[in-house]
Chains A and B, each alone.
Chain A
């Protein structure tokens, strides 16, 4: 069964509004979760690493003030796209790794498709 859930699965919003995406680890308390973005017909690009109880680590070129990440609990990380613009329209996917040390499998959430009008 699914080990990572995301909500909402899709969202349409007006330009200038903010959108919050939730990512939940269902079977394991994840101290670290990853946020990826995927534009149509492109690969998954890492946006940031979400760390429970501390600030997220953003990849180069990703605006931390625009993509706010909160990892307030061990099972929930949220990504808020602030003042969204049409160019932010994308597929946003979160993920976490397995709990077992030495096993590296990374589980992905079902993704959230954001469309900004």
Chain B
């Protein structure tokens, strides 16, 4: 089955700096890669996703890149703000009605 590795487990950045979180996956058949933001005690919220037919996607301060050959994808947050502080999870899944497999998460702290 799919296995998703995520690094780093914790990340501290100064407000205004960029943050990068990286994930690798094992199943070459996976074709959907979402990123979730989870605040304490709340459900994961989708912040951006990318499909295997696209190499990069951007939404304001957030971007995701995908390298299918290397089987890794990354989340980039620019101009970080204190409200970006949360736990971020990457995930991967294949086609059909298969569930998401999550990375272990990255606790991002943005220091004002």
**Interface stretch of the complex, out of B14-22, B44-52, B68-76:** B44-52
- Chain A: interface size category: 20 to 34
B43 touches A105 (CB 8 A): no
Chain A residues whose C-beta falls within 8 Å of the C-beta of B44 in the assembled complex: 44, 93, 108
Whether, in the assembled complex, B7 has its beta carbon less than 8 Å from a beta carbon of chain A, the answer is no
B43 touches A109 (CB 8 A): yes
Interface residues contributed by chain B, number (CB under 8 Å) = 20
> Could you give, for residues 98-117 of chain A, a 1 whenever the CB lies within 8 Å of some chain B CB and a 0 otherwise?
00000011101111010000
Report which A residues bind B (CB closer than 8 A).
31-32, 34, 42-46, 49, 91, 93, 95, 97, 104-106, 108-111, 113
Report which B residues bind A (CB closer than 8 A).
31-32, 34, 41-44, 46, 49, 51, 89, 93, 97, 99-105
Chain B residues whose C-beta falls within 8 Å of the C-beta of A108 in the assembled complex: 43-44
**Smallest Cβ-Cβ distance to A49: which chain B residue:** B99
A105 touches B34 (CB 8 A): yes
A106 touches B100 (CB 8 A): yes
Beyond the given pairs A104-B49, A106-B34, 15 more chain A to chain B contacts, judged by CB atoms under 8 angstroms and listed by A's residue number, are A34-B99, A43-B89, A43-B102, A43-B105, A45-B102, A46-B99, A49-B99, A105-B34, A105-B49, A106-B93, A106-B99, A106-B100, A109-B43, A110-B42, A111-B41
